Amino acid sequence: MPRTKEDATEPAAPPAANPQKRTRGPNTRLTREDWIAAARDALIKKSIDGVHVEVLAVQLGITKGSFYSHFASRQELLDAVLASWESTATTNVIERLDSGVKDAALRLRALYRLSQRKTPDTPGGPLELAIRAWSRRDPAVRKVMQAVDKSRTHYIATLFEQIGYDQFDARARAVLYYGYVAGRNILVQSGEPESELVYTVVEDLVLGAKLHGAAAKQAAPARKRAVKRG
């Protein structure tokens, strides 16, 4: 179905409380990525109900005309936010690991380290939590969320298989790994982090005894430092 630019297709936006309007010159041009970033920020702070073109335009200090030079509708912007998150937090990560790290054990360690970054799009991070909340209300978003979860756990299970686990154990460890990473990040955001020693021990438990060779040697210094601090 073709999308229109009619405002009537967009749900009425609630009044913005003290919007942080940015001052821009008359010749300022926003890119498609600028609008996606603004929508992503609104999604994190206000949930999907807070993502409205008019409010974003005020916050960006620009007219709605700029928006319609990049998107046909609010829905198209939301689709772009979802696609950007899927690419940044999953597809690009897998491609980067596969092209830059040959050993499967090292890739598992590297993936684990990446998941600890304090960025909104990590598993269990603020952006992902906002998207999961959105997915409970929108079947199309839920389908994307399920596809992302499946893609991630499949990739992790494949790495476990490559280091010697059978298919069933690899799948089970992938689910444990994925669930732990998301849960750990939620706890850290809630201000309830454990000591570095505890996380180091849990990391070894989650990654498993068959994680050997270069990966184990690489992890040893960090474990020694954690023990000393603990």
Domain extent listing, the chain: 18-71, 75-229
pLDDT given for residue 155 in this prediction: 96
Of 89, 90, 81, nearest in space to 42 by CA: 81
0.85 cut: is pTM over it?
no
Please state, as a whole number, how many other Cβ atoms lie within 10 Å of the Cβ of residue 193. Answer: 13
pLDDT of 50 above 50: yes
Does the pLDDT at position 81 exceed 60? yes
Least confident of 67-71, 95-99, 202-206, 213-217: 213-217
The pLDDT value recorded for residue 228 is 56
Asked whether the predicted pLDDT for residue 148 surpasses 90, the reply is yes
The answer to whether residues 126 and 120 touch, using CB atoms and an 8 Å cutoff, is: yes
Say which residue, 22 or 58, is predicted with more confidence: 58
pLDDT of 184 strictly over 90: no
The share of the chain scoring above pLDDT 70, in percent, equals: 77
Structure tokens at 10: 């967009």
- By three-state DSSP, how is residue 9 classified? helix
Closest by CA position to 94, among listed 144, 156, 145, 142: 156
Q: What span, in angstroms and rounded, lies between the C-alpha atoms of 164 and 101? A: 18
154: how many CB neighbours lie within 10 A of its CB?
A: 12
Is-same-fold flag (18-71; 75-229)? no
Reading phi first (left if > 0) and then psi (alpha if -120 to 50, else beta), residue 197 is in alpha
Domain 75-229 has CATH 3.40.630: no
Tell me if 16 sits within 8 A of 59, measured CB to CB. yes
Long-range contacts made by residues 217-225, C-beta under 8 angstroms, separation at least 24?
218/106, 218/109, 219/109, 225/196
210-219 in b/e form (b: 16+ CB < 10 A) is: ebeeebbeeb
Of 227, 33, 222, 225, whose CA–CA distance to 112 is shortest?
Answer: 222
| Residue 179 predicted with pLDDT over 50 | yes
pLDDT digits (tens, 9 = 90+) for 102-143: 899 999 988 988 887 777 778 888 999 999 999 999 999 999
| Structural element, H or E, at residue 77 | helix 74-86
Query: Which numeric CATH code is attached to 18-71?
Result: 1.10.10
